[in-house]
Structures are given as structure tokens and as C-alpha cells.
């Protein structure tokens, strides 16, 4: 079975700190990778795509390690508003479906 594994957390982090979390995926043929953000009792929203070369969007950096089959998300200078659950998502290459991790809960404390 194709899977995406994440540490459920919660990660309790002081405001202003840097936090990073990873997810691992089992399907070596996957080509597309994403991080979604889900606030409490809300729907998931795309945070960023993860490219082979890595990508950065403001305080957020995503990296892909194909050899070890993991994806990472780094958040610098964390804000209270970053508190959310971060979902790691990988494509199923046989169709246009996505395989979802269960999420990592992040709590930023003042």
C-alpha cells in the first residue's frame, strides 16, 4: 500500500523560533509533492509545492530528498498564526490522485 508517514506531534515551539518537520513516502515513482496547511476545523489549503531543487516562499522552505524518500518543511521566525496542522501530500503516479499524510500539528506559543 502506498503511504505517507508524518510525526503527528504536537510540536510546541516558542514564537520566533525555527521549526522543521519531515514526512516519508513509500512510492518511489511519485513525482509531485506538496505541503498543505489545515487550521482547526477548517479545510486543507495548499501551502507550497515541493520541487526537486527545493523551494522557498518567505519564511517557508521545502526540500525533497528522493534517495531517502522524504520531504521536509522548515519554518523560520515562526508566528502565532503558523499554528496549524501541516499535511504532507504525494501524488499517485498511476492517476491524478493524491496520497495524504495524517498531518503534523504545530503550536506556536507566545
Partner 1 sequence: DVKVTQSSRYLVKRTGEKVFLECVQDMDHENMFWYRQDPGLGLRLIYFSYDVKMKEKGDIPEGYSVSREKKERFSLILESASTNQTSMYLCASSLAITYEQYFGPGTRLTVT
Complex with partner 1: residue 76 or 92, whichever CB lies closer: 92
Q: How many CB atoms lie within 10 A of CB 101?
A: 23
99 sits near partner 1 (criterion: CB under 8 A): yes
- Which whole-number Å values give the CA distances from 94 to 29, 32, 38, 73, in the listed order? 9, 12, 26, 26
Question: Which residue, among 83, 73, 23, has the nearest Cα to 49 in the 3D structure?
Answer: 73
Minimum distance from residue 102 beta carbon to partner 1 (Å): 5
**Binding residue (CB under 8 A) for partner 1 from 14, 17, 26, 42:** 42
Selected from 29, 43, 58, 110, the binder of partner 1 by CB under 8 A is 43
For partner 1, the binding residue among 46, 52, 66, 77 (CB under 8 A) is 46
Judged by beta carbon, residue 45 or residue 59, the one nearer partner 1 is 45
CB 110 within 8 A of CB 15: yes
Maximum distance among all alpha carbons in the chain?
A: 44
Q: What x/- string results for residues 9 through 28 when contact with partner 1 is judged by CB under 8 A? A: --------------------
- Surface-to-core class of residue 23, CB atoms within 10 Å of its CB (0-12 exposed, 13-18 middle, 19+ buried): buried
Residues numbered 59-88 forming contacts with partner 1, rule: CB under 8 A? 87
Amino acid at each position: 500500500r502506498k503511504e505517507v508517514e508524518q510525526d503527528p506531534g504536537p510540536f510546541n515551539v516558542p514564537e520566533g523560533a525555527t521549526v522543521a518537520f519531515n514526512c516519508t513516502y513509500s512510492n518511489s515513482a511519485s513525482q509531485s509533492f506538496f505541503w498543505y496547511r489545515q487550521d482547526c476545523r477548517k479545510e486543507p489549503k495548499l501551502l507550497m509545492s515541493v520541487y526537486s531543487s527545493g523551494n522557498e516562499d518567505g519564511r517557508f522552505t521545502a526540500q525533497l530528498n528522493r534517495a531517502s524518500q522524504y520531504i521536509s518543511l522548515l519554518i523560520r521566525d515562526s508566528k502565532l498564526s503558523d499554528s496549524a496542522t501541516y499535511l504532507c501530500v504525494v501524488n499517485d503516479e498511476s492517476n491524478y490522485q493524491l496520497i495524504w499524510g495524517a498531518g503534523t500539528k504545530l503550536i506556536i506559543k507566545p
